[in-house]
Structure 1
Amino acid sequence: MIDGFSRSRQSALLYLFMAATLCLNQMVAADNAQTPEADNPDNQLHTINTSLRSGFDQLKQLFTRQKEYAWQDRETAKEQSHDFERDILPVLYDKCLACHACYDAPCQLKFDNVAGLERGASKIRVYSGLRLGDTPPTRLGIDAQTAAEWRRRGFFSVLDAPQEGGQETLPLLQSMIDFGRENPLPQQDPIPDEIRLDLSRRHACPEPGEFARYREQNPHGGMPLVMAGLTDGEYDRLSRWIREGALIASTERDGSADAADSTHTEEIRQWERWLNRDDKRARLLARYLYEHLYLGHLYLESGEGANSRFYALIRSRTAAPAAPRPVATLRPNDPVEGDFHYRLARIDDSIVHKTHIIYRFDRARRRELMDLFDSQDWSVDTLPGYDSDARANPFETFAAIPPRLRYRFLLNDALYFVRNFIRGPVCRGQIATDVIRDQFWVMFESPAEERFTNRKAYREEVSPLLGVPGQKSSLISLGPEWLDYKAVRNRYLDRRTLRYAEDFPQGPGLSQVWNGETHNPNAFLTIFRHHDSASVMAGWQGEQPRTTWLMDYPLLERTYYELVVGFNVFGSVSHQAQTRLYFDLIRNEAETNFLRLLPPDRRKARYDSWYQNSGKLKMLMTYHDLDTTTPTQVLPGTDDSYTRVLQQLKKRSPELTGTSDAINRPETDHWSPGLTPEQRDTHRTLRVLAARPASDLDLVRWMPETTFLRVDHADGSREALTLLRNRRHSNVAFMLGESLRYQEGHDTLSILPTLVGSYPNLMLRVDAEELGDFVGTLLDVDSEAAMQAMVGRWGLRRMDPDIWPVFHSFRDLLETQAPLEAGVYDLNRYGRW
């Protein structure tokens, strides 16, 4: 029956499915939050209404002309009471940046760059699952350059005092912080259920003149939002600064920042000369490097964390020595009219962890790249264009660059490239992240045995089949585009299966798994999903997962181009759905690629356990048939061949896979040699909680996705750990109905001896001498009341004034562990504690 579906009927069903998505995606997000209000029909109706109102807001943006707000320079006091950089920026950094940064800043009001203060706020949300068409991009510093330009794009000031009824009223920023000091909630009580804090809530963004109505409709809508507010000193400084005209300039600049940047001038010039060479081979290589590095925060030397300078690789209208001026294309592989130059532009934004993906870009790196891409002879006859076909298929666009070199380039820093699509703009929100499991391990095919990079005839045969969707974003193109790409992808897998069977008649062995040349920590990775965000770590962390990925070069490159280069955060629901649906194919392909290491007669049972219930329908309608005939060279050992293969891989590369994780894998007593005696005691005490299912540990049912734990020792030292809730599902094959596939009794906790994730849902602070009591209390948590009692003793509630110093202490602790990776965490997902 399934085979008899006509193409038009499949398209029609897909359109009906997407129509349901438009109305239900926000409700599903609330439902999957597993909070008490999610089961309340009234709240579900509220969520649907919120979703529809958001959709109407987007339609209004598309079909009506936005209001324009007249821009006028603010009058500022001649004598300023406070210096902006010394006195004001720290307040914004400490109390505002935790929510107002990146694309998901409420009302697009960004505080990670001072230009965001002048730009102001907007009613249009960047992240929206209801856009019928693409929306114009609003990237700070790229899509408009002045406050007046932003006013024409519908942004309104939060610093100017608007006229209302002939009277001058307070600037919005002042009104918001005044409102936040009124009617505070109790410090030691959880937040009432009627106050919505989840991501699917309706964001009310009052324009000048609308604040009175906003205040009436949102009785606890002051800033910081339902969070301990400004101290008296902070409030006085910020208020006086606003009253004196909100001067965004420093009166005490000493030039030290410019002097620090000048130390990199020669290195920057060397990079720019190398990237802008004029021969065809150099130009193609520079394009390839740019498209893979444009999202990174590049550092030219290993500095001291917060004192380090980070740079972005951009396409600039200007050449050196003029200041870089970015080309405002939507994607890094969109065409540019006229000349452009690859430039390094200093990142002046405050560093926030969620967007901080670092990549070493020093002199040694340049030598590495030169040696790598000069290690084979290759030439370019004709440079590829930037049309939609070239953008969709990097395998054909960059065919002149030897694929072995491209694959090696990705492998050498696989953690960076995987972080781009796991922590980048694409992975924000439950609908985006429910395509992956809550915890799984990743590895890569050995470059010596990977077929695409080693067999020219095979490569030429399959390259046309490896394009990725998303170039066409109209709603009407969704069905045909998806059906085409699904069919082409499955034809590619037909050819891949045949090629590997011919080249490896005895089947794959462990040698087909890249071992990082025994020293590269990028060889084995762990991905954790945190419901509506995700993280990547080096090594195999946590308990043995239900699924494992084995990625070859086409998988790794396609994933990067689909989820990073080709993803438009301002795109329509069609574009977002195509991205999500294709990622589902990528995940399935990586999982089944790993299953080739298992004996043929054991694969189906393992595969069925990954795709239970409704997942079987996806097997029939969408996925490629599982290979259950090709042999394997990996000895099966026990009946649990999946565990056997993973054990052999860990034994083969113990340092890289992380066999010292004695917290989550208690069967081993291998403790990391770098632990202090105090840390080892902490880990031994906490290990009784790790990897136990919710059916055996009630606590798991009440824990949020991501909990930061700070342990304070008597000698004044501190350590930071993370408790991650791993949710289990019968399958992750569909965009909707995640709660229907949820298997709560199988949830577990992973306890990591470092900080994982960018969005803590709960923060705990425990004295080391209380650890035993703390763990005993956690073992006894069996209800919401017991959980709240635990939080009342050791947790930081939203209204607790201590929440801010503890919150920032985690950033400081990360800087001691990994200085270059430290950044301010995000509180947008903090629970209603």
Structure 2
Amino acid sequence: MRVLRPLLYLFGLLSLLFLFLNMSGSISDSNPIPASVLPAPVKQRVSYTKEIQPILESKCLACHSCFDAPCQLKLENTEGLLRGAIHEEIYDGVRTEAMSPTRLGIDELTIDGWRERGFFSVLHAENEQSLPLMLSMLRLAKQHPFPPNSKLPDSIELGITHKNHCVSSDGFPDYARENPLKGMPFATTGLSDLEYALMAGWLEQGAMAPKETIILTEGEKQAIGAWESLFNREDKRGRLVARWLFEHLFLAYLYFPDQEGELRFFELLRSSTPPGKAINPIATVSPNDDPGGPFFYRLRPVIGSIVHKRRITYPLDRAKQQRIDELFFSEYWPVGELPGYSYTERANPFVTFAAIPAYARYQFMLDEAEYFVRTFIHGPVCRGQIATDVIRDHFWTLFQAPESDLYVTDEAYREEVTPMLGLPGQNDDLLKAGDNWMRYLGRRNDYLAKRQKQYVLRQPSGASLTHIWDGDGQNQNALLTIFRHHNSASVVKGLVGDIPQTIWWIDYPLLERTYYELVVNFDVFGNVAHQLLTRLYFDLIRNGSEHNFLRLIPAGHRKTLLDDWYQDLGKLKFGIVYQDIDDESPAAERFITEKPKQELMSRILDRFHLINAMALDPLNRCQEKNCSRVDRPLWIQQSDQALASIAARPATEIIGIMQLPEVTFIRVTHEEEGRTVYTVLRNRAHSNVAFMLGEELRYQPKKDNLTVYPGITGSYPNFIFDVPVTQMENFVSMLRVAGKPEDFEQIVKTWGIRRTHPQFWEILHDITAWQKSEQPLKAGVFDINRYENF
């Protein structure tokens, strides 16, 4: 016994040491649930459509969709699920060579084709000794559950910088040993016992997933036939207009408002097969690349689940057909030889489509301006960080009236400046990037000099509010608000929030160049040179939009405003990269105060109130005691008033701003009357947004403020609070003074919905359901890749 006692003591110490070395700071890591205790796979036949697909949509799709899906495992439809995953990531900011595109339904049409390109199955094991990767990942999360509504361990990295481990089933054992807390769903409340049993049973039964099909109604077939006839006209004018329309609608989720029944979406693409035949997509990288042979424009149903970040909708109805006929074909215009797909024709759409009347092109884009802004805010990249890197966190956008746009109205001027409007990025040769940039920069600055000279000559009294597009008296697309959320952004109709620091005034050359630079010509699979040139040129577009707005400001005040927008090192870019501001030519508007921007914006709010979707913004621009929407139920008015008390005020007054992320959803509940939802947006202030690097050095936190949006904007919520209306005053009062992390921690514990909250998924999807009832065309599953760990 004396001999055994020290041995037992030593064994105990070694056991404790072993446990210590294998701990990662979480109870769930040190005490995993044995696999034998997990719910047993169901034995009865599992239906993919009725039982599995709803689980994937509710607890997997929030991360696995679009180009930023981890390991390219996209679960929006069955094809993505069957294709599986791959080690190669799409987002790589230092890639020296462009990668081959991997778009579902376009670049490969068979699973065997995807296997040849390196994709591996997540549904079937690679050998008899391993389990299907999906089952292993689900089991790992089930064995290591997080304590309910607990903060995640610091060892778990979140956000878009999170490194994905794209292991196959063979490599899973090593992954599990090194990452015991990184099962799936990742870093959230996991599957319920029933969901796990169903998934395990389905995977054991061979993971059968039937091909998704859509049975079109007779009305949809007729609508498709009418539109495909329009897009495939054989005359030269029809072919040129169809090409322009395709390049402007290829990203859209198209729908038929005239049709009754279920709302369905379609995509416009080029196919080698004519209408009436099965669609065979032409897989070019960009919509304006050479198709390589005869083709037809076709409409194909969008199959699968709808995610919010890709929901960029556009209507195709009889009214739109009539509008196209009115704009493009009501008057004769000649067409010579149709343009091809050369470098110049891809880089300069103003050259390519010069034959189409400029008014028709511009007015078509104005009619659905929010759609076009949404394309380059969401865009083909899903993340949109190329665009958001060079914009303010909150600004208003106006458009120049077509009849006041010299590019539209003056043919001689248009022909003179069109060659100057080409866009960089077509050539991704790293060694030539510098020369390309200097060439396009020079052309752009030559254009601005010519533009300024001509506007002073043709509008000697200067710019006025009559030169702003008024939406033809009814179109709410005329006034937009854009929010940047660090590495994503959103756009809404109307002038939302307090008067922002900067305002954009966009004319046709600015709108078309932005669209082609960030959407048509942008290649998410491109290399670092392509992405660098794209970002640098968009910086010039932003600067041009701001300069155009300053034409409305009186001479002598423009330089002062510009100095506020480009503080510190931002000033150095003038005269080198940016054109110097004209602070001498007159403005047609007359001012009576020393704050012309505020005076001008007050006039704009008054003049265009009939088309302003947020003509009254009592939450952010309250001028009365009752800061609420008076047309809403009393309990919503009470909630409005509480949130209005922290809106549009700087962090020096509302110190809790410093604790909030960029996008916060607040679900406010009423015991008897349901719920409503707000988005609280933190607008970060910067001395300038003129540089690619050093954002933290330009950050001015004391100038941050909040915009409270009554509804939903943003596809990537950073956090959710769930607050009963009876506690709204208390919630806001605590947030107002939450200057320290521990103060905010108390708010999170009381009302916060952490990733580990038992109702996390339920509340997240209830917010989607709320938006679907309020805004059915915009609702979709939110992305939680940026949901924070408070």
Shared fold (TM-score greater than 0.5)? yes
Partner of 1:284: 240
Q: How does 1:378-777 map to 2 (within 5 A)?
A: 378-426=333-381, 428=383, 430=385, 432-657=387-612, 658-667=614-623, 672=629, 674-777=631-734
Query: Residue 421 of structure 1 contacts residue 427 of structure 1 at CA under 8 Å; is this kept in 2?
Result: no
Cα distance, 1:337 vs. partner? 1.3
Q: Deviations over 1:427-482 (max 9, x none)?
A: 62656522000000000111111100000000000000001111001211211111
- Structure 1 match to 2:184: 223
Contact kept? 2:627, 2:640, Cα under 8 Å: no
Which one-letter code corresponds to 1:585 in the other structure?
Answer: L
Alignment partners' CA distance in 1, 2:177 and 2:540: 48
Letter in structure 2 aligned against 1:231:
S
CA-CA distance at 1:106 after TM superposition: 0.4
Alpha-carbon distance in structure 1 between the residues aligned to 2:736 and 2:365 = 43
Say if 1:452 and 1:554, in contact at 8 Å, map to a contact too: yes
Matched, 1:784 2:741: yes
Residues 438 and 457 (structure 1), Cα distance of their counterparts in 2 relative to 1, 3 Å cut: same
CA distance in 1, matches of 2:258, 2:77: 24
Partner of 1:400, secondary structure, is: coil
Q: Is the Cα contact below 8 Å between 1:376 and 1:402 reproduced in 2?
A: no
Q: Indicate conservation of the 8 Å contact 1:331/1:566, yes or no.
A: yes
Unaligned 5+ segments in structure 2 are: 1-40
Question: CA 1:427–1:92 in 2, change beyond 3 Å: closer, same or farther?
Answer: closer
Residue 161 (structure 2) pairs with residue 197 (structure 1): no
2:60 to 89, 92, 96: 96
Q: Render the CA deviation track for 1:663-695: whole Å, top value 9, x for unaligned.
A: 111236686564333322211121111011111
For 1:665, the aligned partner's letter is R
Q: CA RMSD in A?
A: 1.7
- Distance in 1, matches of 2:174 and 2:233, equals 58
The CA distance in 2 between the partners of 1:493 and 1:818, in whole Å, is 40
Against the structure 1 CA distance between its residues 432 and 553, is the aligned structure 2 distance closer, same or farther, given a 3 Å change threshold? closer
Are residues 1:809 and 2:766 paired? yes
Report the equivalent of 2:104. Answer: 140
Contact 2:684 2:703 in 1 (8 A): yes
Secondary structure at 1:527 match in 2: strand
The whole-number CA distance in structure 1 between the counterparts of 2:430 and 2:631 is: 54
- Equivalent position SS for 1:168: coil
**Contact 1:434/1:738 (<8 A) preserved:** no
What is the distance in 2 between the residues matched to 1:417 and 1:704?
A: 27
| 1:517 Cα deviation after fit | 1.6
Residue type of the partner of 1:373? F
Secondary structure of the residue aligned to 1:522 is helix
Rounded Cα–Cα distance in structure 1 between residues aligned with 2:368 and 2:630: 25
| CA displacement 1:87-139 (0-9 Å, x = unmatched) | 11001011100100000000000100110111110111111101001110000
Task: Give 1:83 deviation, angstroms.
Answer: 1.2
How far, CA to CA, are the matches of 1:670 and 1:655 in structure 2? 21
Amino acid at match of 1:141: G
Structure with greater Cα Rg: 2
Specify the alignment match of 1:122 in structure 2: 86
Q: CA deviation at 1:621?
A: 2.0
How high is the sequence identity, in percent, across the aligned residues? Answer: 45
CA contact (8 A) 1:427 1:532 kept: no
Question: Higher mean Cα deviation, 280-289 or 140-149?
Answer: 140-149
What are the superposed Cα offsets for residues 206-240 of structure 1, whole Å, 9 maximum, x if unpaired? 12311111112222110011100000010011110
Whole-angstrom distance in 2 between the partners of 1:695 and 1:671: 24
Q: Normalization by structure 2: what TM-score?
A: 0.93
The answer on 1:162 being equivalent to 2:126 is yes
Give the one of 264, 267, 272 matched to 2:220. 264
Q: Secondary structure of the equivalent of 1:575?
A: helix
Give the CA deviation at 1:262.
3.9
Task: Tell me which amino acid in the other structure corresponds to 1:136.
Answer: S
Matching residue's letter, 1:751: V
Native 8 Å contact 2:101 2:285 kept in 1? yes
Cα 1:80–1:153 change in 2 (3 A) is farther
Letter paired with 2:529: S
Q: Deviations over 1:412-433 (max 9, x none)?
A: 1101011100111346265652
Write the distance in 1 (CA, Å) between the matches of 2:381 and 2:554: 36
Report the TM-score when normalising by structure 1.
0.88
- 1:656 positional shift: 2.5
State the Cα distance separating 1:192 from its structure 2 match. 2.2
Q: How does 1:19-168 map to 2 (within 5 A)?
A: 81-163=45-127, 167-168=128-129
Shift of 1:777: 1.6
CA distance in 2, matches of 1:280, 1:492: 31
User: In 2 relative to 1, CA 427–234 (structure 1 residues): closer, same or farther, beyond 3 Å?
Assistant: closer
Partner residue of 1:341 out of 296, 299, 311: 296
User: Greater shift after overlay, 541-550 or 213-222?
Assistant: 213-222
Letter in 1 for 2:357: P
Counterpart Cα distance in 1 of 2:60 and 2:448: 49
The question of whether the paired residues in 1 share the 8 Å contact of 2:384 and 2:489 is answered with no
Superposed CA offset, 1:721-756 (max 9, x none): 100000000000001110000000000011000101
Query: Distance in 2 between the 1:302 and 1:468 partners?
Result: 38
Q: How big is the shift at 1:303?
A: 6.7
Report what 1:246 is aligned to.
Answer: 207
Q: Is the 8 A contact 2:470 2:608 kept in 1?
A: yes
Output the CA distance in 1 between the equivalents of 2:194 and 2:610.
50
CA distance in 1: counterparts of 2:427 and 2:208, whole angstroms: 44
**1 CA distance for matches of 2:767 and 2:726?**
20
